[in-house]
Amino acid sequence: MGPEEKCAVLYGKYELGRVLGQGSFAKVYHARNVVTGENIAMKVVGKEKVIKVGMMEQIKREISVMKMVKHPNIVELHEVMASKTKIYFAMEYVKGGELFEKVAKGKLREDNARGYFQQLISAIDFCHSRGVYHRDLKPENLLLDEEGNLKVTDFGLSAFTDHLRQDGLLHTTCGTPAYVAPEVLGNHGYDGATSDIWSCGVILYVLLAGFLPFQDDNIMAMYKKIHKGDFKCPPWMSSDAKKLIVKMLDPNPRTRITASKIMESNWFKKTVPRTMRSKEEEEFAHVGDEDWVGKVKKIESLNAFHIISLSEGFDLSPLFEEKKKKEKEQLRFATTKPASSVISKLEEVAKTSKFSLKRSDSSVRLQGKESGRKGKLGISADIFAVTPSFLVVEVRKACGDTLEYNQFCSKELRPALKDIVWKSAPENPTIA
């Protein structure tokens, strides 16, 4: 343990405990946040080794992206710190152990395997949509929490923390290419998204079979099998599972199935992904229109204090101007049209964009009919009266993925609302 780790409390915040794991580039410690009492997994990476293999720029890029990645099936990166010789990653501590400890006891039932696989693909697809690729998916990186939920670890960080050889290829702990796509082994350059899908295919095969698809005592013979996609599914696998695995373990990355097509497959869709239904979705599904309307007040009149609270501090411009923010979860606009016109416009949007809708005199809730990267998108719109003929409408994301919400707002919602938005100046749109 280096001098930094010997400190009683790291950076006055983290108390380091026992070693949880070790790779060629990093050690992972159990740690405790002394301020909050929260358990943390602290990954400690040696700068010298990282610089030696020319990975420092990649680390900086990956860290900036990982800080934005929040998903229920990805281990969260809380904070990154650095000293002269070390980089410290404070990460979510997952207590339940590795998924493959379950497989060591025998293959999983198909329904159980599907539940874990749905969570895995949900995490993979979410990060691919953000331009982050794992590149080293393997059993050690699939953890379970105490409720049995899957958590992918080292997403975007694995490429430099463990098992990187001088040739830049990624390998599993034992040095075999068991989970690695053929194009990665071929060293011709590879696409992170398609190589991740291959690894997911190997993982699904192992969950359902209890053993690896490509096995041979001779390493070169194993390489040949991987390059040819030479494997057989055991007879107990269902035909839909076999079809999906064959498409994922396609040795040609250009024709290999994509994450979106996996999620459309019969086998994947047989049961609903278990982690993707939020409290907001449950509420929308189970509360009847009459109950929901009864909970909502009449249109609320705004006084000066309300207006200030709706804006950011005393600057009222955010009510009526475009925010310079890439990912935001709400927008506001003013209108001189009656509330009924606003609600009618939102009803039109719901019909054309595959949303269910519940409404009252002063509030509308849109709920997506199709599951997105973080479940179904839910959007709430509340109407406030500044004067009887001047309204402020606040639209916000109730549940789902922020990126999908922002895309919906820019492509569907803003164009639909442009005719009713009050314009403070001819050239400026006023949706904030």
Helix axes 192-209, 239-248, angle to 10 degrees: 150
Would the pLDDT of 413 be above 80?
yes
Would the pLDDT of 143 be above 70?
yes
Question: Which comes out higher in pLDDT, residue 3 or 80?
Answer: 80
CATH fold label, 3-269: Transferase(Phosphotransferase); domain 1 (1.10.510)
The backbone torsions φ and ψ at residue 177, rounded to the nearest 5 degrees and listed phi first, read: -90, 30
Q: Is the dihedral of CA 202, 205, 211, 213 positive or negative?
A: negative
Domain boundaries, the chain: 3-269, 279-417
Q: Give pLDDT, residue 120.
A: 95
- What is the distance between the alpha carbons of residues 32 and 12, in angstroms, rounded to a whole number? 11
Rounded alpha-carbon distances, angstroms, from residue 297 to 8, 347, 359, 398: 54, 20, 12, 18
Q: For the chain, what percent of residues have pLDDT higher than 70?
A: 76
Would the pLDDT of 208 be above 70?
yes
- What is the distance between the alpha carbons of residues 116 and 430, in angstroms, rounded to a whole number? 45
Q: Average the pLDDT over 100-120 and give the result.
A: 91
Q: Give pLDDT, residue 329.
A: 66
Q: Average the pLDDT over 78-88 and give the result.
A: 89
The backbone torsions φ and ψ at residue 384, rounded to the nearest 5 degrees and listed phi first, read: -120, 145
Confidence band, pLDDT 50/70/90 cuts, at residue 168: very low
The region of weakest confidence among 105-119, 124-138, 199-213, 231-245 is: 124-138
Q: Give pLDDT, residue 253.
A: 92
Confidence band, pLDDT 50/70/90 cuts, at residue 308: low
First vs last C-alpha separation in the chain? 51
Q: Give pLDDT, residue 34.
A: 92
Contact (Cβ atoms closer than 8 angstroms) between residue 366 and residue 352: no
CATH fold label, 279-417: TATA-Binding Protein (3.30.310)
DSSP, residue by residue, 96-129: S-BTHHHHTT-PPPHHHHHHHHHHHHHHHHHHHH
For the chain, state the CA radius of gyration. 25
Strands, DSSP E only, in 110-219? 142-144, 150-152
pLDDT tens profile 275-301: 445 555 555 555 555 554 444 445 556
Would the pLDDT of 5 be above 60?
no
Q: Which residues contact 219 (CB under 8 A, 6 or more apart)?
A: 176
Q: Average the pLDDT over 380-404 and give the result.
A: 84
Catalytic: 167?
no
Which residues make beta-bridge pairs with 118? none
Q: Which residues contact 193 (CB under 8 A, 6 or more apart)?
A: 128, 133, 258, 259
pLDDT, averaged across the chain: 78
Q: Which residues contact 311 (CB under 8 A, 6 or more apart)?
A: 317, 318, 319
Would the pLDDT of 365 be above 50?
yes
Instruction: Spell out the long-range contacts of 337-345 with Cβ–Cβ below 8 A and sequence spacing 24 or more.
Output: 337/391, 337/420, 338/391, 339/299, 339/383, 339/391, 341/420, 342/381, 342/383, 342/391, 342/393, 342/420, 343/383, 345/416, 345/417, 345/419, 345/420
Q: Give pLDDT, residue 300.
A: 59
DSSP, residue by residue, 233-279: --TTS-HHHHHHHHHHT-S-TTTSPPHHHHHHSHHHHTS--TT---H
Q: Average the pLDDT over 347-364 and give the result.
A: 85
Q: Average the pLDDT over 339-348 and give the result.
A: 88
- What is the distance between the alpha carbons of residues 397 and 267, in angstroms, rounded to a whole number? 31
DSSP, residue by residue, 407-427: HHIIIIIHHHHTTT---SBTT
State the maximum Cα–Cα separation within the chain, in Å, rounded to a whole number.
80
Amino acid letter for position 58: Q
Would the pLDDT of 318 be above 60?
no
Instruction: Say whether 411 counts as a known binding-site residue.
Output: no
Q: Average the pLDDT over 61-77 and give the result.
A: 82
Q: Give pLDDT, residue 163.
A: 35
Q: Give pLDDT, residue 279.
A: 54
Confidence band, pLDDT 50/70/90 cuts, at residue 59: confident
Q: Give pLDDT, residue 301.
A: 61
Q: Average the pLDDT over 182-205 and give the result.
A: 86
Would the pLDDT of 185 be above 50?
yes
Most confident segment among 56-60, 257-261, 373-377, 395-399: 257-261
Q: Average the pLDDT over 171-186 and give the result.
A: 66
**Candidates 136, 162, 250, 401; catalytic one:** 136
Question: Which comes out higher in pLDDT, residue 63 or 16?
Answer: 16
pLDDT tens profile 232-273: 999 999 999 999 999 999 999 999 999 999 999 999 988 765
Most confident segment among 54-63, 228-237, 379-388: 228-237
The region of weakest confidence among 54-58, 205-209, 414-418, 423-427 is: 423-427
Would the pLDDT of 118 be above 90?
yes
Tokens representing 341 are 């016109």
Tokens representing 422 are 């009050």
Question: Which comes out higher in pLDDT, residue 40 or 320?
Answer: 40
Contact (Cβ atoms closer than 8 angstroms) between residue 119 and residue 73: yes
- What is the distance between the alpha carbons of residues 115 and 276, in angstroms, rounded to a whole number? 11
Q: Give pLDDT, residue 188.
A: 66
- What is the distance between the alpha carbons of residues 329 and 362, in angstroms, rounded to a whole number? 20
